[in-house]
């Protein structure tokens, strides 16, 4: 194919917390992104317990898109782009996450943003959760460790689906949901799922439980979205980091396969509505107990996605002879 088909959507992608700023404006609440500091040479990035004086939080201002979006969208249109992927900040719509009524000021902001995109013939591609869940859900509910958060997320999804049903066609539920497979470190579990590990926690078991609740929430949101507008295209989104065997040694090949299985089973559940057998067997072997009801299985089957979205930043090679690897409980060299 020498040319792209008519209707192919060239565009760009961002997230609300990466560019909006205005972190206290229009009734917005505090998100997990708002308590993450900037790193600088010799000073690592931190997750702080709330907003601390003297710390620099880059998401608070970002590029001030909240106030400058009209000029930014005009420049975006000059590039000839036809789609703009961003997210709806959950905390603009439900500042704490557990309210029953949405924040009208937040809803109006996204009305205006989507209208501006459509004025230039730009399709909004909207992510519901992109590393910016309400911080209140972390401190009061334990993040996605708590089944209650499913209902809070579905309420949020239903509100925005209904509000923007005539403005947004393309949706994604969770951004890079599989990043939390890196449960050995602190940032991915926190940004993905609002998980703050304590010493002695079963990190892997907690990760699988939180991810399960997110997968159920995604499926329920997909079902609700299709009921509101059958023309919606609602997808999942993963971080695609291919893992290759470092050599033709069968041990490397097998280890690469197992690493891919552990990192990408999320997509299987999104697409097929069922967990692959290898994950269920892995839980059994490891003694991992996941709160997984019959209703959960029905929800997963009823809410399969319409498409797969992915980002691709890097790849890995795996060497079965290396030790003390920090990623995936396996021996991985990043290239």
Range of the domain at 17: 11-334
Is 170 inside a domain boundary? yes
Q: What's the gap between Cα 291 and its chain centre?
A: 21
84-140 confidence digits (pLDDT tens): 999 999 999 999 999 999 999 999 999 999 999 999 999 999 999 999 999 999 999
| Confidence band for 238, pLDDT divided at 50, 70 and 90 | very high
Per-residue pLDDT for 210 more than 90? yes
Is 5 inside a domain boundary? no
311-320 confidence digits (pLDDT tens): 999 998 988 8
Is 94 inside a domain boundary? yes
Q: What's the total number of domains in the chain?
A: 1
239-283 confidence digits (pLDDT tens): 999 999 999 999 999 999 998 999 999 999 999 999 999 999 999
CATH number of domain containing 306: 3.20.20.80
Is 121 inside a domain boundary? yes
Is 2 inside a domain boundary? no
Is 304 inside a domain boundary? yes
Is 143 inside a domain boundary? yes
Is 6 inside a domain boundary? no
């Amino acid at each position: 194919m020498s040319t792209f088909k008519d209707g192919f959507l060239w565009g760009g992608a961002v997230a609300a917390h990466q560019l909006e700023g205005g972190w206290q404006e229009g009734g917005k609440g505090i998100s997990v992104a708002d308590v993450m500091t900037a790193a600088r040479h010799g000073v690592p990035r931190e997750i702080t317990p709330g907003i601390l004086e003297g710390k620099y939080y880059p998401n608070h201002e970002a590029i001030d898109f909240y106030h400058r979006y009209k000029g930014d969208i005009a420049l975006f249109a000059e590039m000839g782009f036809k789609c703009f992927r961003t997210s709806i900040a959950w905390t603009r719509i439900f500042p704490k996450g557990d309210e029953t009524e949405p924040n009208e000021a937040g809803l109006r902001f996204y009305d205006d943003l989507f209208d501006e995109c459509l004025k230039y013939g730009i399709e909004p591609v909207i992510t519901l959760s992109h590393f910016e869940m309400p911080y209140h859900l972390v401190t009061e509910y334990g993040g996605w460790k708590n089944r209650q958060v499913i209902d809070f997320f579905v309420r949020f999804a239903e509100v925005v689906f209904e509000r923007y049903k005539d403005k947004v066609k393309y949706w994604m539920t969770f951004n890079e949901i599989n990043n939390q497979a890196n449960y050995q470190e602190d940032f991915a579990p926190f940004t993905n799922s609002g998980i703050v590990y304590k010493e002695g926690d079963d990190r892997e078991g907690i990760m699988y439980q939180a991810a399960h609740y997110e997968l159920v929430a995604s499926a329920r949101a997909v079902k609700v979205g299709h009921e509101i507008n059958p023309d919606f295209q609602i997808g999942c989104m993963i971080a695609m980091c291919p893992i290759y065997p470092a050599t033709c040694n069968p041990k490397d090949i097998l280890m690469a396969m197992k690493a891919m299985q552990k990192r990408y089973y999320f997509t299987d559940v999104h697409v097929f509505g069922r967990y692959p057998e290898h994950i269920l067997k892995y839980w059994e072997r490891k003694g991992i107990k996941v709160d997984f009801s019959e209703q959960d299985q029905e929800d997963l089957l009823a809410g399969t996605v319409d498409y797969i979205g992915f980002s691709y930043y890097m790849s890995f090679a795996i060497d079965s002879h290396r030790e003390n690897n920090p990623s995936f409980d396996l021996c991985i060299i990043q290239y």
